[in-house]
Structure 1
């Protein structure tokens, strides 16, 4: 619902419409978080099938998995622990509980995926663009419903909330460090494709997670 108001002394010149903002219901949040989780998991599966990385905690988990053999899901949750503590103290209990729930679902689905979704062949370009975009969409959906995937995403969301520093730009800088470290373990051409996936992921957040662009809460 919206209505127009007039500038003082200028009855013929309407101001910007006043928009009635309705916060998300609990059901909205549950559905939005589930959708976000599915996007992130499918993105990670695509990237893993091509031997690629991405940014954020998912990228760290993938990189560590390649070098240790530990499952991505287990590493994803372990790496997240200190970031969840940060989220609790600086973003609040509600945000942290939602993020924990989302990350637990991601971990669970990543453990199930090898039994229900097996990708035998995918070109690195498709994996990079598709996987990165899926992960970005998932992160965006979670952020819209007051949650994060954990890890560096919590820090970037806090920086945007606290200092209005665009989360996507911060994520790109963090991802650059992760991908530079990946050169020690992953072939350079795969790191190059991984960089494309990180740009696709951060680009989604940079383009769409901006103050004033979205009116839900």
Structure 2
């Protein structure tokens, strides 16, 4: 699913005290985030849509090959953990690995418990955006992510100065262009709406100057 660049380790404003999340708080945050993200993927794949970043790549591969999303998503993220460790540290990498594994497992199981008799495409796209945006916010605020392109984008920014946002934008543009080869333009357009809503939710709600717990 589309997302803004991964947050750098949180730092508190001068004079502010930082309260680190407990293990239980991290566990519930990651479970909530992965659960909502999995629900968003169920909505998206029911409508035959895609999204951005590695989740979108995994969905596109799944559509093209018939392979299940869950194992593809888990495998697609494997190369990114070393960069995650180098850029964000061991704590972030372990949490992200757990989040990706949980999401993969939930997406494999949830379709057996959730079905839609009728779901309007534009409403489904917006609902996906709201649900997935809240999922990513929860993961970010507990020091995790769903891996992937955001890590590479930050790594390239550190090494070359090329803005992380541009790297993600180029990747998503290529992804949505490729989607036109196996999905009709209307479906791709609704997919873009869902990705836009995800990014708006994160952009409007993920404020490091307001949320400093880690």
**Structure-1-length-normalised TM-score:** 0.83
Q: Which 5+ residue runs of structure 1 have no aligned equivalent? A: 1-15
What are the residue-to-residue correspondences of 1:1-217 with 2, within 5 Å? 19-155=16-152, 171-217=168-214
Query: For 1:25 and 1:162, how far apart are their aligned partners in 2?
Result: 33
Change (3 A) 1:162 1:18: farther
Contact 1:58 1:76 in 2 (8 A): yes
Contact 2:83 2:155 in 1 (8 A): no
Higher strand share: 1
**Structure-2-length-normalised TM-score:** 0.84
Change (3 A) 1:208 1:169: farther
Indicate the larger mover: 202-211 or 192-201.
202-211
- Aligned-residue Cα RMSD (Å) equals 2.7
> What secondary structure sits across from 1:110 in the alignment?
helix
Change (3 A) 1:28 1:160: farther
How many corresponding residue pairs?
A: 202
Measured after TM superposition, the shift of residue 46 of structure 1 is 0.6
Change (3 A) 1:146 1:82: same
User: Which structure has the higher relative contact order (CA within 8 Å, separation 6+)?
Assistant: 2
Q: Which 5+ residue runs of structure 2 have no aligned equivalent? A: 1-12
